[in-house]
Amino acid sequence: MSTKTNEQKSVRVALVQDSAPASAEEARERFAAKAAEAAGQGANILCTQELFQTEYFCWKQDPDFFELAEPIPGPGTDFYAALAKRYGVVIVGSFFEKRAPGLCHNTAVIFDADGSIAGVYRKMHIPQDPGFEEKFYFAPGDGPFRAWDTAFGRIGVVICWDQWYPEAARLTALDGASIIFCPTAIGTIESEPDDLMLKQRHAWLTVQHGHAVANGCFFAAVNRVGTEHGTRFWGSSFVSDFYGADLASASRDKAEIVYADCDLHAMEEHRRMWPFFRDRRIDAYGPILKRFGD
C-alpha cells in the first residue's frame, strides 16, 4: 500500500447514470459529451455504471455476446484514457474484458488524469439469478481487494454484487481508499411487485451506506436506468459520506450526472473520533476465513 498523501482536500465526484446505449460507439459519444460537461462543472473523478458500453447482456446465456468483450488495454480503453488526459480527470470505467480466449471478466479500469491506467479491478463476487446470468460470462477476479493512488487521492473499486459483502468494502478501505466506487447494474424483474422492488432497493441503499459508516470513508454507487429485457433498473445512484448521509443522489428513472464534493480532511478528522480501524480485534477474526461456523 502506498503512503503517498494527496494535497487536495476536497474532491468533486461525478456519477454518470445512464440508460443502455445502442452500441459501444454510441456509448463513447455519450460519455465524451458527459465528460466535457462534468469537467466544466469542476469534477475531478467520473464513474460509469456497470457495463456502460452495452445493454445488460447477462439477461440470458448467449455465446454470441462474448463478441462484446474487449482486451485491456486496447482500442476501447485508449479512447477513455485520452478523455481522462484531455480534461485532466480520473475516470472509473466498467468493461467486459477479454483476458484470454474463453476467459472474460467484469472489470473496472481506473484511468488517471494523465491518461495512464492507474489500476484494474476484476469483479470478485459473481451472481447467478434469473435475469442476471453472470456466471456464464465472467470468471471471478483473482484479487486482491485494493486501492490505487490517483491525481485526486487514493480510491478503490468494487463492482455490483461485491457491494453486499462487508469484507470487500473493508479490505478496500484497509488498503487506504478514501472513496470506494461501485459501478452497478441492479433492478427488479418486471413480474415482481412494486413493494418487493422497494424492499430490495432499500436493502441495496442500506448496506452500502453501512460500508461508508463502518469504514469511515466515502462510498459512491452508480446504477443504470431504464427497462431492458424484463428488468427495471432503479437508478438511485448516490454518494454517501462517513455518517451514511447522502451528499447527492439521483432519480430512479432519469439519465443524469450526480455531483458530490468529498472533503478528505473532514474524513480524517472523523476517523480520529470514530477510530474503527484502531479498535479492530484482528486477533479474533480467524473464523471469517471459514465458509460457515460448523
Q: Cell numbers for 218, please give them.
A: 466515502
pLDDT one-digit tens code per residue, 23-65 = 999 999 999 999 999 999 999 999 999 999 999 999 999 999 9
Q: What is the pLDDT of residue 143?
A: 87
DSSP-assigned letter for residue 54: S
In 146-266, the DSSP E strands lie at: 147-150, 153-157, 179-183, 187-189, 218-222, 225-228, 231-234, 238-240, 246-249, 256-263
Q: What is the pLDDT of residue 8?
A: 67
Instruction: Tell me the C-alpha distance between 48 and 16, whole Å.
Output: 5
The band of 5, judged by pLDDT with boundaries at 50, 70 and 90, is: very low
The end-to-end CA distance of the chain, in Å, is: 35
pLDDT one-digit tens code per residue, 87-110 = 999 999 999 999 999 999 999 999
Asked about 160 being catalytic, the answer comes back as yes
Q: What is the pLDDT of residue 196?
A: 95
Q: Are the C-beta atoms of 188 and 54 separated by less than 8 Å?
A: no
Instruction: Tell me the C-alpha distance between 60 and 212, whole Å.
Output: 33
Q: Determine how many CB atoms are found less than 10 A away from the CB of residue 209.
A: 19
Catalytic residue among 34, 47, 50, 228: 50
- Residue 130 burial (CB < 10 Å; 0-12/13-18/19+)? exposed
Asked about 290 being catalytic, the answer comes back as no
Mean of pLDDT values over 193-219: 97
Instruction: Decide the pairing of beta strands 256-263 and 246-249.
Output: unpaired
Of 1-10, 110-119, 182-191, 226-235, which range is least confident?
1-10
Instruction: Tell me the C-alpha distance between 249 and 238, whole Å.
Output: 4
In the chain, the DSSP E strands lie at: 10-17, 45-48, 90-100, 103-111, 117-122, 147-150, 153-157, 179-183, 187-189, 218-222, 225-228, 231-234, 238-240, 246-249, 256-263
Q: What is the pLDDT of residue 6?
A: 43
The band of 7, judged by pLDDT with boundaries at 50, 70 and 90, is: low
Q: What is the pTM of this model?
A: 0.96
Mean of pLDDT values over 56-82: 97
Q: Cell numbers for 197, please give them.
A: 422492488
- With CA atoms as reference, report the closest residue to 159 among 106, 217, 111: 106
Mean pLDDT, the chain, rounded, equals 96
Catalytic residue among 160, 182, 217, 262: 160
Domains of the chain listed by start with CATH number = 11-278 (3.60.110.10)
Catalytic residue among 123, 182, 217, 262: 123
pLDDT one-digit tens code per residue, 234-251 = 999 999 999 999 999 999
Mean of pLDDT values over 215-227: 98
Number of H helices, E strands in the chain: 5, 15
Q: What is the pLDDT of residue 3?
A: 40
**CA 81 to each of CA 61, 89, 136, 179, 212: distance values in angstroms, whole numbers, following the listed order:** 31, 10, 29, 21, 29
Half-sphere exposure of 33 (CA within 13 A, CB side): 7
